[in-house]
Structure 1
């Protein structure tokens, strides 16, 4: 028997198609919308599903970064979003799709299912829609296929808008002051003696700004703003969300005498080693060796080097429920945060009380200095950070030179915006 044939004719909007065999002359004809029109409808269905899946995947990726979860959760979110738009196959199998992780610009990083890359900010989804053309199942024509692609990413909204923030008074008295960001004082703002603020100089009550200080964003009266709740010391305690989020070494120190600070010593001689992943009760007079990692202190703390002259270097995130002092009389400090990733920010020092930093040499740091329940006092000949911020109930900063480049990502984001990439 000769092969089946199809003939179509007519005008757009009223097309006729016939299927049959020229010999023995059997034909079956029906009005049929164009195959292109049906494909367009199916393409639109698939595109809606791809858009929904990409948005759901990027949102779930953000949630995994922020609160935990697995890659299986993300894959399930993709499948659920696609399934909500109906079936996209002719074999009765689960809807088919392909997905890859993308960075913030939409560049592909790797397949979903192969592990979440550290710089992944979203997903790119391809929905595969196989459908029968009209009467294809009757006459044996192969199904048609369209593919729809969509990519979505999350963009974080940082909680910090200023390089220096004081709920109350802010004093910054340096021979040379260079701040790559704005400053905010809830009450009085004092800036001395020369330099530049690359942003607004906001104040709530009164501004005393030396003539040698340039405020690129102007001197701006501002309404009261409470100190943002960026972190609480308990977040870093065992079982807390940031303790759980950190994969490196974690130390918990509890002073036996709550009136005595825990002394963290950068010189190992005569010190007690902290316990990784466990709490150590520190007796009065004991010094604990300063280790890299996340350090939680259930009380007051002090960071020094008891012997020799050398820069105190550490990669740590240090949180205390009480006051925190870094006031070595002989040595400089060079600190970077251990916990530093986009969903959690880059906290360096967090205290439930005041933070005092005093050094006769250089104070160099990266990350956020945050005093939840007290002021931040800083005194150093040179204070320098190429990625940092200082937040406290009040700020009293003084010395020879402050060079601070503000980076809002040192603060934890308050949320995320998920958007499609077009």
Structure 2
């Protein structure tokens, strides 16, 4: 087969294979299962891998063309493998092994009696650095394409045979075994086929540190040969971890930023929703308060309890908003009246920590309301508490309880203008606050009838 047709066919096959892989490989590299938090340790990745490959060896290289000891290169098969440790995202160290045959015809010196050589590479081992040149899929956590370059050094053992024009081999003088140091320099492209499996397409030039690879020394340069290969790389370790070589740290940092941004935005939306709910609740409360506290005629009685609406301004009214009768000039407080007040004080009870009057206290308060309406007495209500709690809270509670008693008496017909409600908090104890009994006495509302 013509050599140019061979090379063209190999190149075309590689292009077709790569196109099919691009078309068939699903885009799953950006999924959450492959995400690794930025600046994570190497234990979160798969850093070891092994590979196998096969391809063609030829004395023709991109560095020297056909200017070799033998003018006409032939392609022969070779194969090999490697084990690699990925040290960084873009740097791996790998131990390589390959073997195969290198062959050429037509010596540069027309007087040379042999027209063909064949070198059998028994083994070649080296340590190389594998450097990833770029990460192409910037928007994905793993890159499907990994272009790379390699360089290293190692030792190879080979046996070279020279053949005369007649095709007969001269085994006595033209077969030799050699061990030489060589420098492999290469480039390639890895394509992700699946999680942990890569297609490896590579080209490598091996610089042999002698001029006897072909058994013939011609010119001043050392011999070289190329190895174009295709193979598969398999990542070792847990399948749940991504390959360090394929991982894109820039994309991970971008993903981390976007997740933080979404979290902050979610918190902000929640806070806005809570603020809106509080605003709606406040508006509802204010509307209810305005409705319950409306006093259209300004007589001091809320419209909700005003049985005599539209009272003329300045008219004194009772607790139901109705005008009061002509006041009695002289007011006499009898002992019976004082007994009624004392009984109300004795039976007055509130819910714990609140200004809500208990039902069993209402009957005695009704009697107080009766004497206030019938005799037009004035009444001062003084609220007191013990020292449990803050001063401000106790002062407010004592005032609220006095106001609660006033509101109830007014609801029963008492004149609100003749009732004064004052709160003194814990400032005027009548017993020690160190005992339960003392604190019970200090929690009181005093009635002063006049």
Q: Higher strand share goes to which structure? A: 1
Q: Higher helix share goes to which structure? A: 2
Query: Which TM-score tier does this pair reach, normalised by the shorter chain?
Result: under 0.3
TM superposition score normalised by structure 2? 0.17
